[in-house]
Structure 1
Amino acid sequence: MCQALAWTTILLKVENVIKLLVRLRLYYLLHITVYCRRLRTCISCLK
């Protein structure tokens, strides 16, 4: 019983970490796309 409880807590921790990573990845992707758009507009302005 105790071991099952330990496994459950470990799995929950892993799940939280995965959720955090996914959120971070989405956040970074959003920022990268915005940055790329800005960069593209800057380049087109310089031409």
Structure 2
Amino acid sequence: MRRKDYFLRKYVIGSIAVGVVIIFLLRLWDLQFMSDEYKVNA
């Protein structure tokens, strides 16, 4: 049982890290392509 807990924890931590990276990339994409703020100031 103890070994299985560590095995599952690896996937939980990995999925949280992937989720944070996806959110970060979506925010960057939104800022760069969807926002008109930088086009107006350029």
Whether the TM-score (by the shorter chain) exceeds 0.5 is yes
Number of residue pairs aligned between Structure 1 and Structure 2? 37
Unaligned 5+ segments in structure 1 are none
In the superposition, the TM-score normalised over structure 1's length comes to 0.71
Q: Name which structure has the greater RCO, CA cutoff 8 Å, separation 6+.
A: 2
Partner of 1:34: 32
Q: How does 1:1-47 map to 2 (within 5 A)?
A: 3-35=1-33, 36=35, 40=36, 41=39, 44=40
In the superposition, the TM-score normalised over structure 2's length comes to 0.78
Q: Return structure 1 stretches of 4+ with deviation > 4 angstroms.
A: none
Unaligned 5+ segments in structure 2 are none
Cα RMSD, aligned residues only: 1.0
Aligned-pair identity in percent equals: 11
